Amino acid sequence: MQRTWIEETTNLVGKSVRLNGWAHRIRKMGDKLVFVDLRDGSGIAQVVFYKPDLAPDVCAKVDELKPEYVLEVEGVVQKRGEKQVNTDLATGTIEIGAKTVSILNTSQTPPFPIDQDTSSVGESVRLKYRYLDLRTQRMQNHLRLRSKWVQACREYLFGQRFVEIETPLLTKATPEGSRDFVVPSRLQPGKFFALPQSPQQYKQLLMCSGFERYFQTARAMRDEDLRADRGFEHTQVDIEMSFVEREDVMRMVEEMITHAAEKLGFTIREKPFPLISYQDAMVKYGADKFDMRSEEEKAKGVLAYAWVIDFPFFERDIKTGKWTFTHNPFSNPLPEYLEDHLAGRNIEKILTSQYDLVCNGFESGGGSIRAHKPEVLEATYKIMGYDQKEIESSIGHMLEAFRYGAPPHGGIGLGVERNLMNLTGEAALREVVAFPMTASGVTSVMDAPSKLDDATLQELCIKTCEK
RNA sequence: GGAUCGGUGGUGUAGCCCGGUUAACACGUCUCCCUGUCACGGAGAAGAUCGAGGGUUCGAAUCCCUUCCGAUCCGCCA
């Protein structure tokens, strides 16, 4: 018999079905009647074993059942009596009258209950047994919502002529930005790859390649200390478009975000998203990310998106006194500042084409119109104090690509975790990530990082130091 | 790198300030009873060298020192 999903059983009253899943809860009512709440990837249904009607070997198996045993149940979908309807359960109008049961696997008693929310269980226990934590309703909901949200973004993008392209994970260390995660090269001993902090340069190269509209759900890695809302690695819906101006990208992203949020049943506070300048945001909210919702809207889970624009391109580095970029060195300045930018004049006044999408107090995404003329990017690096040689070695490949008919382009990266935190109302990143890390950077279940044996280190030409 | 909070049966907590001999409670587990439960109910039992190491003391979960682990924040994070 073909397997039926639990969710579908409500439409199958009177039919024989085969169900697969886990024993969620078991209630043994004396010697004759046993209720098992069976859980699969679609939901939970009550299975009734009435032992006087069952074969002796089936009864013996029913006696053995414990929580989290993996079962195959065959039985008939029955309408529940009026007094027995459970309105808390999606399948509460029916139950499965079991004929047979197979125990596909047994289970040790889980370290914490699977049938309850685990938010009060200690982090280290949850992470050690992450695969069990993920069985709980809340964690299932979060990861399923995450999948649906990304799916909705994809759906929208595919409808707008976007092409999904993957960019390399093993790539080049860049001097600016955050600390790189680094991977030793065996074939080039003593040299290292860096894991990408963002697909920034590759996606701009794809614009130079004529794809015009690119996206990917990209992993990005940064070796900086962790926070509740920040991990070593995160995923972004990474987008880049050719022949666009700032407002074109913003409009497109706004449509996509709206499509995704509303498809998943969320309410957006204000459409079109309000627009505020960095200056005004700092005056009004004291920050460039802010929460505009009332307490009531917070309780309802309303999403309050806003755009922040007109950021300064540069700021002084407190330590070195040099100019450094505030957001993204690959951005174009706003058109009215282009002349000053190229000349390196009035640097403190130059505004960038950067736009940040803010939602419920978090930065949900950020992007800009990029430099596509070599002289603009070069000017940015000159302002930051790079000499010709340093410019050549760090971004020479980009300058060269721009000399072969690079189209004007711009894009955005939307943090998947940040967006899911807003959708779920969770305050911690690890609640929307399948296998997150602890604050000290140790992975769940697998307990990485770990030591390498001497032979491996030797092959990689690496000496370790005692710290 | 810095600061703060925490670590007590499988899980979550109380006890710690003010040291005292059987470390308490809830959930879970095990045994028995129960035909309609859905957080089932009832009776009983087992289960903890109190994160680790050292010190003070007649005596340490409790006081002191060191250390490890977890959480949050600052620095850091285009």
pTM for this one? 0.95
Identity of the amino acid at A24: H
The dotted CATH code for A130-311+354-372+407-432 is 3.30.930.10
Point out the nucleotide closest to A78 (alpha carbon to C1′).
B36
3-state class of A96 per DSSP? strand
Q: Tokens representing A55?
A: 């074969």
Q: Taking the C1' atom of B32, which residue's CA lies nearest?
A: A30
Closest CA to A330 of A365, A372, A384: A372
| A447 CA, B17 C1': Å apart | 38
Tokens 């949200």 belong to residue: A149
Instruction: Kindly give the confidence (pLDDT) of every residue in chain A, 467 residues in length, as a single tens digit, with 9 standing for 90 and above.
Output: 899 999 999 999 999 999 999 999 999 998 899 999 999 999 999 999 999 999 999 999 999 999 999 999 999 999 999 999 999 999 999 999 999 999 999 999 999 999 999 999 999 999 999 999 999 999 999 999 999 999 999 999 999 999 999 999 999 987 667 899 999 999 999 899 999 999 999 999 999 999 999 999 999 999 999 999 999 999 999 999 999 999 999 999 999 999 999 999 999 999 999 999 999 999 998 888 999 999 899 889 899 999 999 999 999 887 788 899 999 999 999 999 999 999 999 999 999 999 999 999 999 999 999 999 999 999 999 999 999 999 999 899 999 999 999 999 999 999 999 999 999 999 999 999 999 999 889 898 988 898 888 899 999 988 877 55
What single-letter DSSP state applies at residue A407?
P
Asked if A215 and A238 touch (Cβ cutoff 8 Å), the reply is yes
Residue spans per domain, chain A: 6-105, 130-311+354-372+407-432
Closest CA to A133 of A151, A153, A117: A117
Point out the nucleotide closest to A123 (alpha carbon to C1′).
B70
Closest CA to A273 of A387, A358, A201: A358
Point out the nucleotide closest to A328 (alpha carbon to C1′).
B78
| A36 CA, B3 C1': Å apart | 50
Q: Tokens representing A119?
A: 């938010």
Point out the nucleotide closest to A110 (alpha carbon to C1′).
B10
Q: Taking the C1' atom of B73, which residue's CA lies nearest?
A: A227
Tokens 């595919």 belong to residue: A158
What single-letter DSSP state applies at residue A347?
G
H runs (alpha helix) in A89-240? 123-128, 130-133, 137-158, 200-208
| A84 CA, B58 C1': Å apart | 65
Point out the nucleotide closest to A80 (alpha carbon to C1′).
B36
| A295 CA, B19 C1': Å apart | 48
CA atoms of A185 and A460, how far apart (whole Å): 7
Q: Taking the C1' atom of B1, which residue's CA lies nearest?
A: A225
The dotted CATH code for A6-105 is 2.40.50.140
| A124 CA, B64 C1': Å apart | 29
Point out the nucleotide closest to A35 (alpha carbon to C1′).
B37
Q: Tokens representing A234?
A: 């995160």
| A109 CA, B76 C1': Å apart | 42
H runs (alpha helix) in A264-352? 278-285, 295-300, 338-343
**How far apart, in Å, do the first and last CA atoms of chain A sit?**
61
Closest CA to A129 of A144, A108, A104: A108
User: How many residues comprise chain A?
Assistant: 467
Point out the nucleotide closest to A24 (alpha carbon to C1′).
B38
| A467 CA, B53 C1': Å apart | 21
3-state class of A71 per DSSP? strand
- Residue A268: strand pairing partners: A303
Please report the pLDDT score of residue A321 as a whole number: 84
Asked if A226 and A439 touch (Cβ cutoff 8 Å), the reply is yes
Around Cβ A245, how many Cβ atoms within 10 Å?
14
The strand order across the sheet containing A275-277 reads A163-164, A213-221, A233-242, A409-415, A362-369, A355-359, A305-309, A275-277
Q: Taking the C1' atom of B7, which residue's CA lies nearest?
A: A122
CA atoms of A5 and A8, how far apart (whole Å): 6
| A121 CA, B24 C1': Å apart | 21
Point out the nucleotide closest to A222 (alpha carbon to C1′).
B77
| A121 CA, B12 C1': Å apart | 7
Closest CA to A269 of A179, A360, A390: A360
Closest CA to A12 of A95, A102, A132: A95
Cα distances from A115 to residues A135, A298, A442, A445, in angstroms, run 9, 27, 27, 21
| A451 CA, B53 C1': Å apart | 25
CA atoms of A105 and A373, how far apart (whole Å): 62
| A228 CA, B53 C1': Å apart | 32
- Residue A306: strand pairing partners: A358
Point out the nucleotide closest to A201 (alpha carbon to C1′).
B78
Asked if A197 and A220 touch (Cβ cutoff 8 Å), the reply is yes
CA atoms of A368 and A366, how far apart (whole Å): 7
Point out the nucleotide closest to A128 (alpha carbon to C1′).
B70
Query: Could you tell me what percentage of chain A is helix, strand and coil, using 3-state DSSP and rounding each to the nearest 5?
Result: 30, 25, 40
Please report the pLDDT score of residue A419 as a whole number: 96
| Beta pairing, strands A94-105 & A362-369 | unpaired
| A62 CA, B31 C1': Å apart | 18
CA atoms of A341 and A351, how far apart (whole Å): 9
- Residue A182: strand pairing partners: A194
**Which nucleotides of chain B have an atom under 7 angstroms from any protein CB?**
1, 10-13, 27-30, 33-40, 69-78
Q: Taking the C1' atom of B10, which residue's CA lies nearest?
A: A111
- What ipTM does this complex have? 0.92
Q: Taking the C1' atom of B13, which residue's CA lies nearest?
A: A120
| A186 CA, B37 C1': Å apart | 63
| Beta pairing, strands A409-415 & A233-242 | antiparallel
